[in-house]
Amino acid sequence: MQLFVANLVVARGGRTIIDDLTFDVAGGEALLLTGRNGAGKTTLIRALAGYLRPIAGSVRLDGFDPERDVREACHYVGHLDANKASLSVMENVAFWQGYLGDGGSGTAAGDALWAALERFGLDALADIPAAYLSAGQKRRLSLCRLLVARRPLWLLDEPSVSLDAASTVLLADVIGEHVAAGGIVIAATHLPLGLGAARELRLGEQVAMS
Amino acid sequence: MSGFMRLLRRDLLLAWREGGALGTALGFYLVVVALMPLGLGPDLNLLSRIASGILWVALLLAALLSLPRIFETDADDGALDVMALGTLPLELVAGAKSLAHWISTGIPLAIMAPVLGVLLNLEVRAYPLLFATMLAGTPAISFLGAIGAALTIRARRGGLLLALLVLPLYVPTLIFGITAINAALLSPDGFAASFLILSAISLVSVVLGPIAAAAALRTQME
Amino acid sequence: MQNQSITQRLANPTRFMQLTDWLMPLTAAIAVVVIAAGLYLALFVAPPDYQQGETVKIMFIHVPSAWLGMMGYLMIAISSFGLLVFRHPLADVSAKAAAPIGAAFTLLALITGSLWGKPMWGTYWVWDARLTSVLILFFLYLGLMALRSALDDESLAAKQAAVLGLVGVVILPIIKFSVDWWNTLHQPASVVKLDGPAIHSSILVPLLVNAVGFSILFLALHMKAMRNEVLRRRVKALRLAEVERAAKRERTAAAPAE
């Protein structure tokens, strides 16, 4: 599994945000996107997930079913939590598990769901509507998506926002395990996530040079 | 269970749990219908003659009130972004959400209509006709309305704009809904033609609405 | 790199600006001449109708306006298609420029129609099929313009308006057909149609001359509106570049300190 990004140009609102960016990430690697505000971290992540159509350049994921779109290989965790306030913690995760996963059900899926809730410390809250959760708990709830539906490419935009120190360590562990299993993680972040071996891509530099 | 059914079930569950939207739509429907005799005077003959028209127009307005909900909450909390990454094409996402709107709002409004007919002295034999035309016509309201809802997610004053965009598209449904009832009241065989066209318009909307709504959703994610 | 991509996107509009620089005044001049000839024929040569008198002459403005109201929508639909499918840089400029012009002609058709209706039908407005469907066309124009003005992001507004434009073109014939049918069931009488066999060449010729003149006028106005829009976008691009340069200067000034 390897992600190739070649000569990517992305504009928003008539402004070129990402200009001629080329990089690649192999399976088993984590890439941290850093850079000042407005350097294009969110834009790059949204372009990789297929929300933004690039003006030029290509995004290719080798080792993924060529019949399927790259977006079907992606997990996207953005600034918004994508949880429904009136659904319980369990219902929220179960919906995304079924919707994003490959339709697996039965006891295996149920076990994966409970494992994810336990991992993020939400198992005691399984029947509580998401509306009652604190900001950190909501964030952990949306991170559960990553574990219940298996997808190789994780695109995380400021995933540690509103997480406390212990949860941030937990997130780093989860990311580490995904990488160790051969997955790819691309995370935009202000804060060091505590990922020792991760590569770093500083955005905004090449724009400043030109 | 397919992604389509999961999404439909989730949206229906949400509509059920957050029942306020349907209550507002039904309440609005009742108030609009109740205001009509106050404006037109309590002449029962007049009211009975125009009852089906009033019920249809008020139904359109009540449905309009609930349209923004089709996509708004999911766009606001980021769920729509995540949905776009599923194996389900965005067209079917829009289709499932429109269908959920029809089941959770269109059908209750259609059921409510004959009840409100009592207030307007609607002819007894018009009741089943009214219900049948509304059941056949309301899918067009939900599926065409989804286009307007998707177009106005990021618009300022979205609700008012939505009315301007969508009401012209409802003209054929309104016209054939009313003609079917009036034709049936005049002669027993006049009903079929208008009713079939009404159903055809709904079927066209079921195809066209999700395609256009998905195109609008894609651009608003950018 | 960045400058290049901006120039690339302006390459096509640049050619358009050069072309219309001389074509626009020329078309406008031709439109003035043709419409002047058409109005002369209509007001002084064409005979008054034996039944309608001089009021029939409103038709020489009314009918071409109505045609151009529809042509404007067709222009928007083609431009919308060009934007969504081919991503042509001028397509959105064209769609945006056509909307107010088409709406103005549609409104002109509605107003002249009702001025003609007052002496003929004794009322300014009847819910006749044709009036109703033109009124709905006018609503669609209003919707397109309102949608565009309600979205702050211009490229988003362009694409959303294009989606609505294409939906409108699919729905318009259905609306027209439904309204026609609705009218025949409700009000079969009192509809005066111009397209009967009764049109004499002394009326038909000025009508066609006016229609040609109005079409050329439409093209000239459309070109002018497109030129304005292209210029407005250039100003915007220059301002954005200015902001970008200032930000860059700040960054290079701050860089040694880091």
| Domain ranges (residues) in chain C | 12-187+205-257
Which residue reads 């609102």 in tokens? A13
Share of chain C above pLDDT 90, in %: 39
pLDDT digits (tens, 9 = 90+) for C54-69: 777 888 889 899 999 9
Nearest CB among B164, B183, B208 relative to C143 is that of B164
| pLDDT number for residue A191 | 66
Which residue reads 């256009």 in tokens? B212
Kindly give, in sequence order, each residue whose CB lies less than 8 Å from that of residue A161, ignoring residues fewer than 6 positions away: A79, A139
pLDDT digits (tens, 9 = 90+) for C129-182: 888 889 999 999 999 999 999 988 888 899 999 999 999 988 888 888 887 777
What is the Cα–Cα distance from C41 to A90, expressed in whole angstroms?
79
Collect all residues from B whose CB is shorter than 8 A from any CB in C.
147, 151-152, 154-158, 161, 164-165, 167-169, 171-172, 175-176, 179, 182-183, 197, 201, 204, 208, 212, 215-216, 219-220, 222
Answer left, alpha or beta for residue A20, where phi above 0 means left and psi between -120 and 50 means alpha. Answer: left
Pairwise pLDDT comparison (A56 vs C6), residue with the higher score: A56
**CB < 8 Å to C163, chain B:** 147, 151, 212, 215-216, 219
Could you tell me where the DSSP H helices lie in chain C?
A: 2-40, 59-81, 89-121, 129-150, 154-186, 201-254
| pLDDT number for residue B42 | 84
pLDDT band of residue C255 (cuts 50, 70, 90) is low
Which chains have at least 3 CB atom pairs separated by less than 8 Å from chain B?
A, C
pLDDT at B131 over 50: yes
Section C125-132 average pLDDT: 83
pLDDT at C187 over 50: no
Joined together, the tokens standing for residue A129 give 């509507």
A52, closest residue in chain C (CA to CA): C156
| pLDDT number for residue C7 | 40
**CB < 8 Å to A53, chain C:** none
pLDDT band of residue B171 (cuts 50, 70, 90) is very high
Domain layout of chain B by residue ranges: 3-221
| pLDDT number for residue B187 | 76
| pLDDT number for residue C5 | 45
pLDDT band of residue B2 (cuts 50, 70, 90) is confident
| pLDDT number for residue B91 | 95
Joined together, the tokens standing for residue C109 give 């058709």
Section B170-176 average pLDDT: 92
Q: Does A209 touch chain B (CB under 8 A)?
A: no
pLDDT band of residue B1 (cuts 50, 70, 90) is low
Element (H, E) at B40: helix B20-40
pLDDT band of residue C44 (cuts 50, 70, 90) is confident
**CA–CA distances in Å: residue A134 to residues A128, A129, A140, A190, C175:** 12, 11, 10, 22, 51
**CB < 8 Å to C241, chain A:** none
Kindly give, in sequence order, each residue whose CB lies less than 8 Å from that of residue C212, ignoring residues fewer than 6 positions away: C34, C38
Identify the segments of chain A with pLDDT beneath 50: 206-210
Minimal C-alpha gap between C57 and chain B (Å)? 31
Closest to B92 (Cα-Cα) out of A99, C164, A70: A99
Select from 3.40.50.170, 3.40.50.300, 3.30.350.10, 3.10.690.10 the CATH code of A2-209.
Answer: 3.40.50.300
| pLDDT number for residue A111 | 87
Minimal C-alpha gap between A133 and chain C (Å)? 33
Among A130-144, B48-62, B109-123, C119-133, the least confident range: C119-133
Pairwise pLDDT comparison (B182 vs B144), residue with the higher score: B144
What is the Cα–Cα distance from A47 to A24, expressed in whole angstroms?
15
Cβ contact C2–A208 (<8 Å): no
| pLDDT number for residue B191 | 84
Interface of B with A in 168-197 (CB under 8 A): none
Cβ contact B222–A53 (<8 Å): yes
How much is the mean pLDDT over chain B? 91
**CB < 8 Å to A83, chain B:** 77, 79
